[in-house]
Structure 1
Amino acid sequence: MAASTANVDEITAQLEDCLSKCGFEVSPLKVGWYNSLLPASFHLAYPDDTLAVVVLSTPSMFEQAFLPFMEERGYQGLSDPIDQCVKHQVSSAVSQCFPGQEVDVRYDYELLPSRKPKFLAQTAAHVSGAAFYYQKSDVIDQPWDEKKMFGVCVHPKFGGWFAIRALLVFGGVPVGSEMAQPVPPDCVPSREGRIQLLEGFNFHWQDWSYRNIVHPVQTYSQKQRDYFATPPAQRFALLKSWGFLPKETINLNQP
């Protein structure tokens, strides 16, 4: 029996209740919407009517989730601390909201054995209606000829000041036809704006100006900017300078 829209709303509301206070947003989608835009090698191996939910982090995640996570738990020096925090928050929410239910959780940093990503984050965000995925093909009379241009998502409220973190696939939850596919907000409708966005993202991403292509309601705090502006290999040293010690160091000091 197909799940009703009410069931989808209930699942989404449960996740929001757990995750929104930590600076995350969730948006539901059907697997078929996602698969229809991609070649077979990137398809999710689920029926088209299967429910999935994409999880985004907003600018407040850093202060509401990441810094408290560092304060309470520290970090392991084996993987990215932000990834560790996101995995903790999402897996805790899934365990709390859906105990005993099988949920296929895929994180943006995870790769398959083939080295392909476990899901294409920007495509998932686009088909869920959470953010518009602007690509080279969205520009009329492209000025770049054959030059490769990477696409980028823009959030209607946060512009580029957000990140796509995870995809949750509810394998046992088929969705009825009454769940209509949303249209993502076209925040950058003009050709000039789209050229500015894609050139900013591809050629000047370090200055972060592309993130302000729309007026955001919130941006990253200065501390968060300092963190993400620091090369990944040096972020552990930055965390130590903030007083956060890796778990291994803490454990060695314990009796």
Structure 2
Amino acid sequence: MEVRVVQLEDKIRSYLENLGFEIYPFKVGWYNEAVPPAFHLPYSENALAFVVLSTPSMFDKAFKPFLRNQLLKKIQDPVDQCISYHLSVVRESLTDKQLEIMYDYEMLPNRKPKFLAQTAAHVSGAAYYYQRKDVQMDPWGAKKIYGVCVHPRYGGWFAIRALLLFPDVEVPFLLQNTPTDCVTTEAERIELLEKFNFHWQDWSYRDIIEVKEKYSEEQKTYFATPPAERLKLLNLLGDFQRNAIH
């Protein structure tokens, strides 16, 4: 990559990686080629974007410190607030750049997501997006089968959180990284999609491969708790919520 783009990526990464996030660059054109026209991003095909992932360490490195130090808005999910806060810090450090941030939970007026997170992760090389079409002997008949991304180090123990879009930064020279195909056999792919679609609540699909790191028991408890009850749970986990708006 050109020096200025490398410097931009290094600046973003040096801040976010210390907090348990990963970033992966891609060209808007790669994403637009992979999604239906209704989901196209309205930028030049050579515009630079990054997909932002949270890894298992984000809970301790970013989320808990955020809860201790920031004023929470009760109407928003605490994790979403934490991520929004840290990406706003990134934005403030790049005042010379036009930057648009899209979050995984944001919707368009027609109730479609602003971007297809798993496709973005795949085209950036961050995680392989396993779909029904990756299984040759399809056993599901008329059932609706959703796809799922698997990270080569964390399996399913991660989340796709946001896109950072730089409309004015053109990267025609950027080379595409192929995501690591780590669920290689037909049987394993069927097992992955079965577990994700029909048994997702038991977390087992996340361990489809041997992982380097996974969510702590505390983190599992938090994410298994219905969103409306998470603020109450945080009080039980520790005195993180003394600044919360009640």
Query: Scaled by the length of structure 2, what TM-score is found?
Result: 0.96
Residue matched to 2:67: 70
Q: In structure 2, list runs of 5 or more residues that go unmatched.
A: none
Tell me whether 1:61 sits opposite 2:27 in the alignment: no
Aligned counterpart in structure 1 of residue 193 of structure 2, from 193, 198, 204: 198
Residue matched to 1:252: none
Q: Which amino acid aligns with 1:203?
A: F
Contact in 2 for aligned 1:149/1:202 (Cα 8 Å): yes
Tell me whether 1:125 sits opposite 2:133 in the alignment: no
- Which stretch has the larger CA shift, 190-199 or 237-246? 237-246
Report deviation, 1:100.
3.4
Deviations 1:64-100 (A, max 9, x none): 000000001142110110000000011112212x123
Report deviation, 1:141.
1.2
Report deviation, 1:108.
0.5
Residue matched to 2:81: 84
Residue matched to 2:180: 185
Deviations 1:93-144 (A, max 9, x none): 2212x12321010000111111111111100000000000000111011000
Q: Which amino acid aligns with 2:132?
A: K
Q: Within 2, Cα distance between the matches of 1:69 and 1:225? A: 18
SS at match of 1:75: coil
Contact in 1 for aligned 2:50/2:165 (Cα 8 Å): yes
Contact in 1 for aligned 2:68/2:243 (Cα 8 Å): no
Query: Scaled by the length of structure 1, what TM-score is found?
Result: 0.93
Aligned counterpart in structure 2 of residue 94 of structure 1, from 91, 96, 100: 91
Aligned counterpart in structure 1 of residue 228 of structure 2, from 227, 230, 233: 233
Alignment: residue pair count: 244
Report 1:148-227 matches (<5 A).
Answer: 148-176=144-172, 178-227=173-222
Q: Within 2, Cα distance between the matches of 1:208 and 1:217? A: 16
Q: CA RMSD in A?
A: 1.2
SS at match of 2:12: helix
Report deviation, 1:246.
5.3
Residue matched to 1:135: 131
Aligned counterpart in structure 2 of residue 112 of structure 1, from 108, 114, 126: 108
Q: Within 1, Cα distance between the matches of 2:115 and 2:86? A: 19
Q: Percent identity at matched positions?
A: 51
Contact in 2 for aligned 1:15/1:94 (Cα 8 Å): no
Residue matched to 1:253: none
Report 1:11-50 matches (<5 A).
Answer: 11-50=8-47
